[in-house]
Structure 1
Amino acid sequence: MFRHTFYCLLVTLGLATFSGCERGPLENPNWPQRYPAAGTVSYQGKPIEGADVTFTNTTAGSTGTGKTDADGKFQLTTYVENDGVVAGEHIVAIRRVDVVDNTPADVDLSAGGEAVPPTITWIIPEKYSNSAKSGLTATISETERNEFTFDLE
């Protein structure tokens, strides 16, 4: 009896797994409509790799994020990878820093050793990391292609 129940459970789980794969990522009906959005970030004419890009629509209370690749290109995600962002006006923040841990490797923090503050180097000016101060905006369209170029100085 147990063996039969076990096999039935395995078959049911297997079917559920395969049917889930056919549909792709699950979409929540409560999520707002999103539109694909992408772009490029450069600083002083050079592409910036590893920058965090954030689009915030304050009216809709929605935020999408992306990370730049070696060519400075990014795609935005709100809920599911590369699903885009809601339509409308967005304030934009772009942040790229290098953080160096200065605590010696032989310091055991779990045994009461003290950490040395890290060194933070801004790769692009810090002002761009705050959407309220960056001066960067973008309008996401429901009908047009949403491609943005941010050439920071």
Structure 2
Amino acid sequence: MTVLYIDADACPVKEEAERVATRHRVRMLLVSNGGIRPSRNPLVEIVVVPEGPDAADMWIAERAGPGDVVVTQDIPLAARCVEGGARVLKPNGEALDARNVGQALAVRDLMTDLRAADPFRQGGGKAFSKADRSRFLDALEREVRAGLRQG
């Protein structure tokens, strides 16, 4: 049975994910350290993990597997979920899989090193757009359907 895991801290597409989960009658878990508004939707559950570095990531990675879909911006979490057989999407609709997650990790590490070497280097990310939201909805629809076929 497919489960939709949302790395909910700072996730800009929770509402869109809930719409797709509802359409397909898929259980959706919003995982965070707290501060998430409850949903009246019986398919949506809020999982509050203990405070601590990467607690939500570890919780998701330990449970997500084949047929499941994970939404996260966290590349190390994405890599662990891909390794476990889950389908992974970034909130902008970009799919991460065995073919590209290694490159995404390498770019993340490079950017971390560049920021550490230049303390004045800040930001660099582009704003989340309506086009990103639309791409996410299309991609999540595809991934949930594929997960349901797989699971």
TM exceeding 0.5: no
Q: Which is strand-richer, 1 or 2?
A: 1
Q: Which is helix-richer, 1 or 2?
A: 2
TM-score under structure 2 normalisation? 0.24
TM-score under structure 1 normalisation? 0.24
